[in-house]
Amino acid sequence: MDGTKRQRRGNTRQRIQDVALALFAEQGYEKTSLREIAERLDVTKAALYYHFKTKEEILVSIFEDLSRPIDELIEWGKAQPRTRDTKREVLRRYGDALTGAAPLFRFMQENQATIRELSIGNRFKDRMLQMRDIIRDPDASLTDQVRCVSALFTMHAGMFALQDVEGDPEDKRKAVLEVAIDLVTQAHAGPSPAANA
């Protein structure tokens, strides 16, 4: 009638997820109450329970929806030969996936302690380990394995720890990717002569 509730029908589930993720990412999972989510949506707490069985289920559903690109990347990566170029492509695609689900990843990164006790904790960890196993040579030296983990963390760090650094976001993205690819490349190249300096 007055447009206030326009766009409101049928997509409440989606709107709950959006608001919840925004608040979870901003304040953390524990500090975000269902009351707060409901208030922002101008519905009652009970309405949330019509759409989701528990608070945790809201988070799980968000995770499932947004982490699908990563799943697909993992699946794709596993099917490829373990060449240097594959790894580079994996990192490129990983960068895209992270960008697409930035708030979720920011949330996962900043709420590890909380998430560990939740059902998605292990699932997230599994994905990370699978990513790691795609870009590292299983029999490589410890140092090279570290380089791979480091490449992954560099991508994450780049997403969040560089937010307050001057410079064009796109340039930063590129620089981060470059460093990550470098790391994998060096890992692939075997014992780096530079490290012996």
Partner DNA sequence: CATGAATGAGCTTTCATTCAT
Partner DNA sequence: GATGAATGAAAGCTCATTCAT
Note the residues at the interface with DNA (CB under 7 A): 8-10, 12, 32-36, 42-47, 49-51, 53-56
Task: Residue 12: name its binding partner from a second copy, DNA, none (Cβ under 5 to 8 Å by kind).
Answer: DNA
DSSP letter at 195 equals G
Q: Which does 163 bind (CB under 5 to 8 A by kind): a second copy, DNA, none?
A: none
Minimum distance, C-beta of residue 137 to a second copy, in the bound complex (Å): 14
Number of chain residues interacting with a second copy (CB under 8 A) = 48
End-to-end CA distance of the chain: 74
Alpha helices in the chain (DSSP H): 12-27, 34-41, 45-51, 55-66, 68-79, 84-100, 102-110, 112-116, 119-135, 142-160, 169-189
Instruction: Tell me which of DNA, a second copy, none is bound by residue 102, counting a contact when its beta carbon lies within the kind-specific cut-off of 5 to 8 angstroms.
Output: none
Q: Which is nearer to a second copy, 76 or 82 (CB)?
A: 82
67 belongs to the binding site for a second copy (CB under 8 A): no
Site membership for a second copy, residue 97 (CB under 8 A): no
The half-sphere exposure of 128 on its side-chain side, counting CA atoms within 13 A, is 17
Which one-letter amino acid corresponds to residue 140?
Answer: A
User: By CB under 8 A, is residue 47 in contact with a second copy?
Assistant: no
33 binds a second copy (CB under 8 A): no
CB 140 within 8 A of CB 189: no
